[in-house]
Structure 1
Amino acid sequence: MKILFVHQNFPGQFPYLAPALSARGHEVAALTDEHNQRPSPVQVFRYKAPPAEVTVSAPPGKVYAEYAARGLQAARAARVLRDRHGYVPDLIIGHSGWGETLFLQEIWPNARLAIYAELLYRTRGHDVGFDPEVTPRTEDARLGAVARSAHLIQAMVQADAALSPTQYQAGSFPPELRGKITVIHDGIDTDRIRPDPASRLTLADGTTLRAGDEVLTYVGRSLEPYRGFHILMRALPEVMDARPNAQVVLVGAEGVSYGAAPREGGSWKSRLLAEVGDRLDMSRVHFTGRVPYDDYLKLLQVSRAHAYLTYPFVLSWSMTEAMAAGCQVIASDTEPVRELISDGVNGRLVPFFDVPAWSAALIRALGPDPEAGRLGAAARETVVSDYDLRRVCLPRLIDWVEGQAR
């Protein structure tokens, strides 16, 4: 087949699938934003980025207009590919999150369209209103979620097939659309991400951490409430008092990726340090920002306890990667997490908002917990059995793609 991936940050979720399809003899290319500088494993076409601002008076209309503007730019690039270069794909695989697929069937009406359905925003039961401190339980917040869902529903209606990485994410779509979705995880490279008792990592301040040390880790794209940063920070004073040798390493940018900055301005990091910083031994708290991937893997390998918190939202790759590395994962008892972790079986679950319970669970995990080794081994076994890239997920993904032709 002639297969076109469409993703503003390509390869995004497809760094292994695209080259694997190419290796099987398919003609594979990608359409992406002109500013995307990520290395690509296949030929890349680019569309012109949409205007930074789209002028629409009503906020709900503005939300849709911004995604439609990106979809229009992708469609214009597609028309050039068709008219000037004779390019016509058999199959389009596009991430629906940014509107890029909305108009492609008008350019290539005979191409089959499959979308990556990452999540549908919902007005109740998911992230909206989950954390009253940060996300208000108001009608305006629910109206905003409806507006942000319009292009996702349109993309799903247009699609011939869809793919979601977890049952939770597939379940965010309504029953009348869910029948199009196949659930296959992106896959975790468990050959590369594995325990290493000889691992060590030296931080920027010269602190050297080794496997077996009392290391508490936390990883997020950004340090923000969607990933429970505020809860963890409030739990740390008691943890560090009880474990005077513990080193705490927090990975993530200082801005926001999913939610909003504090209403009073600044970053969540600065706000939480102002709240609890005077109760912390800051010589043992290490904010690394974002780190190179190899350093990130070493960090997971030296971690004695890995804290993962999330709203009811997209599950982070970092949690499954921490499990693959054999970490003892202490995670929030929220729906996307429960799909992979069972309390006391392959990790520990803690109520998201229960700060004292978080302190107690982390103190236990950092101490000489006789269950730690068993939990870490069981966590890795879960990922190896059900989420391994090469032996489980990639074969299923290839079969799903090639099944579109059948």
Structure 2
Amino acid sequence: MPATDPASDRPTVAVWRDVWLPGSETFIRDQIAAMTRWRAVRVGLQQLPEPLVPADYAPFTGASSLQKLRGEVLGTVGWERRFVNFLMEAEAEVLHAHFGPSAIRALPVAKRAGLPMVATFHGYDVTRVPRLSLGRGQEYRRRLRRLFAYADRLIAVSEFIADRLIGLGAPEDRVTVHYMGIDVRDLDASSPFPPWPERRGIVFVGRLVPKKGGLDLLEAVDRLPGDLRRTPITIIGDGPLAGELRRQADALGLSVELRGFLGSDEVAKALDRARVFCGPSRTGPDGDAEGLGMTFLEAGLHGVPVVSYAHGPLREAVDDGVTGLLAPEKDVAALSKRLETVLTDDAYAERLGRQGRAHVLEKFDIRRCTPGLERIYDEVS
């Protein structure tokens, strides 16, 4: 167990994630780093070999596949005392779990420790998982009800997710919308933009899964008139649809580069060079939907106009006609028309990009957002 910081008089929140920490979950790492009045310790069932955030405070390091399997099946059963001892040593005053399944596993620990509990819901945990077949969705919803009964605050990362939470039975008076925000890297509205005439092509960033709409992007570019069909497309991310995207791009004769998963610095460089960000997120066949769309905020921060669908929470991340253009969900022809507008109107596209950065800095700067989370900790502790 790690020693607590004796010089710190800040209250302590134990941040729970079952696995510390996949590379796609930079938003959790950045939120912890942005705390100023509360001190975070990290706790969970497993840690990855190279975690995004070093799991200094994880009682279990996931060394064996048997332990991993046991954690997935039994959660914390039989381990609660070890977790409680850790939380007492860390002098934790609140337990904050991210994602519904993790919060369900953390619930017995919070109860046994007598700690107030906060749970943040991010997307799939209120869209896809409750719809699982073979009784799994029903069991998940049953366990959610137990969580709803105990948790002091249920945080939704968007209004869209809040509505879904309430639809699942969450008490409305315990549901709070809190935008996590992003690391703005000390940029402000006056920070220089990469020269607009040097920007080229379309960039997509996201997992290569149906809800991200990668195949819709290719179809929309294929519908562009004339030479616009040859606009280069950079696809950043990986997933089960990678092969299908490659085959479709080749079949249509499009200029597509699949770059796989990249670190945040490389993604930032790609956004700085892009003419437009197109991530046509849509509701997946399994009901999965976006929680808010952090990559859309990243695009705005880098002054890239966004073209997407008016899908669920994206209307909160993108101000249609101001920071980007949104088409009706699944309307590929309309998506193509909006791409054409941004690709052919330099002045309008640059204005969308500048307004996109201003929008993110005003509403989604993590340094402005995180004090709201710390006030939630104050209220429940």
TM-score between the two structures when normalised by the length of structure 1: 0.75
Q: Does 1:217 align with 2:203?
A: yes
Aligned to 1:3: 13
Aligned to 2:45: 33
Aligned to 1:230: 215
Aligned to 1:77: 82
Distance in 1, matches of 2:40 and 2:146, equals: 26
Q: More helix by proportion, 1 or 2? A: 2
Aligned to 1:250: 235
Q: Does 1:374 align with 2:354?
A: no
1:93 paired residue among 85, 96, 101: 96
Aligned AA (1:213): R
Aligned to 2:294: 317
Distance 1:162 1:183, change over 3 A: same
Distance in 2, matches of 1:342 and 1:79, equals: 45
Distance in 1, matches of 2:79 and 2:172, equals: 26
What root-mean-square deviation, in Å, do the aligned CA atoms of Structure 1 and Structure 2 show? 3.2
Aligned to 1:277: 250
Aligned to 2:122: 118
Aligned AA (2:370): L
SS of the residue 2:202 aligns to: strand
Aligned to 1:18: 32
Distance 1:342 1:16, change over 3 A: closer
Distance in 2, matches of 1:19 and 1:53, equals: 30
| Kept in 2: contact 1:242–1:363 (CA 8 A) | no
The unaligned stretches of length 5 or more in structure 2 are 1-10, 284-288
1:353 shift after superposition: 1.6
SS of the residue 1:381 aligns to: helix
Distance 1:28 1:388, change over 3 A: closer
Identity %: 18
2:178 paired residue among 177, 180, 184: 184
| Kept in 1: contact 2:59–2:83 (CA 8 A) | no
1:92 shift after superposition: 1.0
Distance 1:73 1:237, change over 3 A: farther
Structure with larger RCO (C-alpha < 8 A, sep 6+): 2
| Kept in 1: contact 2:222–2:229 (CA 8 A) | no
Task: Spell out, residue by residue over 1:194-240, the C-alpha distance to the aligned partner (whole angstroms, 9 max, x if none).
Answer: 775448xxxxxxxxxx96333101110x2121111121122232338
SS of the residue 1:371 aligns to: helix
Aligned AA (1:319): F
Distance in 2, matches of 1:401 and 1:52, equals: 30
Distance in 2, matches of 1:372 and 1:251, equals: 22
1:52 shift after superposition: 5.5
TM-score between the two structures when normalised by the length of structure 2: 0.80
Distance in 1, matches of 2:327 and 2:280, equals: 9
Aligned to 1:105: 110
The unaligned stretches of length 5 or more in structure 1 are 55-65, 129-138, 200-209, 256-267
Distance in 2, matches of 1:47 and 1:16, equals: 22
| Kept in 2: contact 1:97–1:118 (CA 8 A) | no
Task: Spell out, residue by residue over 1:221-261, the C-alpha distance to the aligned partner (whole angstroms, 9 max, x if none).
Answer: x2121111121122232338532652210011133xxxxxx
Count residues in correspondence.
Answer: 351
